[in-house]
Structure 1
Amino acid sequence: MMQQSLILVGKGKLEWKRKALESIEKDEVLIQTIAGAISIGAELPQYKESDVTDLNPKYPRETGYESFGRVIEAGEDVLEINVGDHVLAFYGHKDYGVVKADKVVKVPETIDYTYALLNTLSCDSAKGVMKLKPDKLDHVLVTGSGTMGLLTLHFLKEYMNVEKVDVLEPNKARGKLAKTFGANNVYLSEEEVPREHYKCGFECSSSKNAFDAILKALKHNGEVCVLSDGNKDVFSLNEDFYKKELKIVGSSDGWDYQQHSQWFFENIKKLEYVNSIFESHIHSHELIDCFAYLSETNECPIKVLVRYPGS
């Protein structure tokens, strides 16, 4: 069987590469991709060579990481996953993927892939939220209402039951969507955010101005979790960090994607708006043109859903 993969071969240069797949191992599954996603915040800086955390990128490099598909072959030692099952995996922009069976997330037949694909970043945001563990009555600030910001807001409201969560988001359309996800107040500029008002905050924007604003907005001994990739701006500590003795923690990847899915898949059955995060839908053959367009526009969608043949 031939596998087609989208490979970044240089700055702004993507190519589809084909190779023959070897036989799967006893503990692996072969997945035919049904849908994937472009994560704008993570992938676009790599494409444009603007990622401040990767100043000397090496090529060629694979692209993407969120994949949904159907298992078409399972190794003889695989017991929990069957041929025909729908699963989430992390192999990116490919039409077929070979993955260790214990690394996939089984998706119930009742869950549409437009919801299922969001489990990965929901789990990532959940890990950061649980590091700070805000109480129900704490005032919480989220900066940015892209994918990470909205899923953080969703987890704060739906799992942690935090009553007062405000969002800093200069894009009015995204701010309106944050309201749909349960934001109490949406601020369009840093100047609107009240100072020394919040017990904790979550940085989801990759913006140094937003990071500065969140430090100013925290109370004494407040805490901030950085959930953004940090690949857009370089953050610095202002005087509020020292004066108010603030705590900053980082968070990367999820706490447990399979365990998280048990809550997430049940929760989204009653919240149909969650998949509105996918503001653009394309087919896989449009990926190269889509990246080129995203690199030139100032109005990027929050997230792009990618459908593969047969979906």
Structure 2
Amino acid sequence: MVDTMKAAVFQGEGRLEFEERPIPQIERADHVIVEVGAVGICGTDLHALKVPPGTLSRIPTGVIMGHEIAGRVAEVGEDVLSVKPGDHVLVDQNAPCGMCEMCRRGRPNYCISIRNVPGFPGAPNTYGLFQDGGLAKYVRVRELNVIRIDRSVPIWQAAVAEPIGVGLHGLRKVNVRVGETAVVLGAGPIGLVVTALLKRSGVGQLIVVEPLELRRQAALACGATAVINPKEADTVERVLAETNGTGADIVAEAVGWTLDTCIQVASNGARIILYGESELDDVIPIAPTLIGIKELEIYGVFLAPFVFESARSILESGTLPLDQIVSHRLPLEKVHEGLDALRDGRALKVVIHPNEF
């Protein structure tokens, strides 16, 4: 019987290399062994593989990467009740303890077992970043991290649950109203998911700002009513022209360093959602007086607490154009090809298939 598996392991200094690793076994009564069907490659992975890595993406050597995981249950511990072998599942890669102060406050995304912010306490254990993840044939997780999903959902679509959850977490903060005007800055995977979710929520005008042609076309396919190339046109002028001078009711920042532009394109009383990440020591100039004069509301977004069930429902409804967001589906052996395509701007969202089913 085969007792090892091929795995993509972080080796430090930007290196992701294949190793033979033992197939994980049940060690606790609440453990679930998942046969990995699909893993999304995330911007966090790219930051972790930079030299030097991003300040929020410094992960230990020796860990199997891959944190946007979907698969099929292979084995369960004796106390597991919510799933059984053969079930298709989403994996919430974050494992809050449920007992620390932030968990008890209803903020599990700030659990001491998840946080990885330099200067703050924490012992992060995120699957695929701080403990072994999904770029392998199998992954071992806890029961609380798996959510059963209908087998009718293609496994590659199920792997997009976490980006959908991040998008939902931000949009829930701003109470999107039918007919409002929205602007999305950045049409990477998160920006495209947010665009599709905004369209699904019933916004009227939906303007996406993105320099890459491939991404602009994808944004139109996801429901954008207009796209702007910021290298060829002044973003603020174009947004104001598109909105008869009023600006946008909702502005989603999915780049990391365009908050000042968000403030300028926002209408009076607008809500701004910050999805994008920059480095902790980045300093971005803004016009703070405009925030007060316009009475803007600005919301941060960190991880995807309490939304995986909603993401599952959306996936099962089939109402998002995920075929316009996932551009590459590759076997595990071609993970480096997928990473290169993302770095070069030739890919939108890459999904890796360690197993085919």
Q: Do Structure 1 and Structure 2 share a fold, with TM-score over 0.5?
A: yes
- Matching of residue 114 in structure 1 with residue 156 in structure 2: yes
Report which stretch shifted further, 172-181 or 231-240: 231-240
Aligned AA for 1:26? Answer: A
Give the letter aligned to residue 300 of structure 2.
Answer: G
Q: TM-score, normalised by structure 1?
A: 0.87
What is the match of residue 308 of structure 1? 354
- Report the alpha carbon displacement of residue 226 of structure 1 after superposing the two structures with TM: 0.6
Between 210-219 and 124-133, report the one with greater CA deviation: 210-219
State the distance in 1 between where 2:317 and 2:328 align: 23
Query: Who is 2:40 aligned against?
Result: 37
Shift of 1:220: 3.0
Cα deviation, 1:1-24, whole Å, max 9, x if unaligned, reads 435432222222122344433433
Which letter maps to 1:255? P
Task: Tell me what 1:149 maps to.
Answer: 191
The 8 Å contact of residues 331 and 353 in structure 2, kept in 1 or not, is answered as yes
Instruction: Encode CA deviations 1:202-225: one digit per residue, 9 max, x unaligned.
Output: 11122x2x3322111012343211
Q: For the structure 1 residues 11 and 161, does the alpha-carbon distance in structure 2 shift closer, same or farther, using more than 3 Å as the test?
A: same
Q: Aligned in 2, Cα 1:300/1:11: closer, same or farther, shift over 3 Å?
A: farther
Cα distance change, pair 87–235 in 1 and its aligned pair in 2 (3 A): farther
> What are the ranges of 5 or more consecutive residues in structure 1 without an aligned counterpart?
none
1:185 — aligned with what?
226
Instruction: Return the alpha-carbon distance in structure 1 between the equivalents of residues 211 and 337 of structure 2.
Output: 28
Are 2:225 and 1:175 aligned? no
Give the corresponding residue for 1:166. Answer: 207
Does the CA-based 8 Å contact 2:221-2:324 persist in structure 1?
no
Spell out the pairing of 1:182-261 with structure 2 (5 A cutoff): 182-189=223-230, 190-191=235-236, 192-194=238-240, 197-206=247-256, 208=257, 210-231=258-279, 234=282, 236-239=284-287, 240-241=290-291, 243-261=293-311
Kindly provide the amino acid, as one letter, of the partner of residue 244 in structure 1: K
**Residue 76 to residue 58, structure 1, CA distance change in 2 (3 Å):** closer
Describe the shift of the 1:14–1:57 C-alpha distance in structure 2 as closer, same or farther (beyond 3 A): same
> Using the alignment, how far apart are the partners of 1:22 and 1:173 within structure 2?
42
TM-score normalised according to structure 2 size: 0.76
Moved more, 83-92 or 103-112: 83-92
Give the distance between the partners of 1:139 and 1:123, measured in 2 at CA: 22
Aligned-residue CA RMSD in angstroms? 2.6
Structure 1 or 2: more strand by fraction: 1
Contact 1:119 1:260 in 2 (8 A): no
- Select the residue among 27, 31, 35 that pairs with 1:28: 31
CA contact (8 A) 1:125 1:151 kept: yes
- Consecutive unaligned residues of structure 2, counting only runs of 5 or more, are 94-132
> Which amino acid in 2 is paired with 1:63?
M
1:87 deviation in Å?
1.2
Aligned residue pairs: how many? 303
Structure 2 Cα separation of the partners of residues 237 and 223 of structure 1: 19
Percent of aligned pairs with the same amino acid: 21
Contact 1:5–1:94 (8 Å) recurs in 2: yes
Q: Which runs of 4+ in 1 moved over 6 A?
A: none
Separation in 2, partners of 1:289, 1:258: 29
Q: SS in structure 2 opposite 1:68?
A: strand
Contact in 2 for aligned 1:50/1:232 (Cα 8 Å):
no
Which of the numbers 262, 267, 277 marks the counterpart of 2:325? Answer: 277
Contact 2:247 2:266 in 1 (8 A): yes
Q: Distance in 2 between matches of 1:258 and 1:137?
A: 26
- Post-superposition shift, 1:25? 1.8
